[in-house]
């Protein structure tokens, strides 16, 4: 990620610190504060940062497909995270925004963001060994 506002990076870092500590209330509180300050677009930017953190720097350019056996049977938030991260990897901002809007309209966005934060932390822990 390049040209990300410092405030967005700070918010993403706060989400990750809270998720690492297992404090889901603080994760939700940080996203709520972002929405209060910057609207839903601000929360989207933080989520995009979390996807970038999960994916890392070493993903070659190209088209990627989602390989998630049983995705259609997974819970809404797990499907959403898999598809949102896939959109990030493919640099498909339109799909990422559509997924974000759909989760918001479905009343599922808080759970999706919480799952995204948890998945990012799990990925970071796995990488650390």
- Predicted confidence (pLDDT) per residue in 21-76, tens digit: 999 999 999 999 999 999 999 999 999 999 999 998 877 777 777 677 888 899 99
| Whole-prediction pTM | 0.90
User: Is the confidence at residue 1, as pLDDT, over 60?
Assistant: no
User: Is the confidence at residue 122, as pLDDT, over 70?
Assistant: yes
The predicted structure's pLDDT at residue 67: 75
Q: Tell me how far CA of residue 66 lies from CA of 10, 42, 43, in angstroms.
A: 29, 26, 24
Longest dimension (CA), the chain: 38
């Amino acid at each position: 990620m390049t040209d990300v506002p410092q405030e967005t990076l700070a918010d993403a870092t706060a989400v990750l610190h809270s998720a690492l500590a297992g404090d889901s209330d603080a994760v939700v509180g940080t996203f709520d504060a972002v929405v209060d300050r910057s609207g839903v677009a601000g929360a989207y930017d933080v989520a995009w940062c979390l996807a970038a953190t999960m994916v890392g720097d070493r993903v070659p350019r190209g088209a990627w497909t989602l390989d998630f056996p049983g995705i259609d049977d997974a819970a809404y938030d797990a499907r959403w995270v898999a598809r949102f991260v896939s959109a990030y990897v493919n640099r498909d901002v339109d799909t990422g925004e559509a997924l974000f809007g759909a989760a918001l309209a479905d009343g599922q966005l808080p759970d999706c963001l919480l799952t995204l934060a948890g998945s990012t932390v799990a990925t970071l822990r796995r990488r650390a060994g």
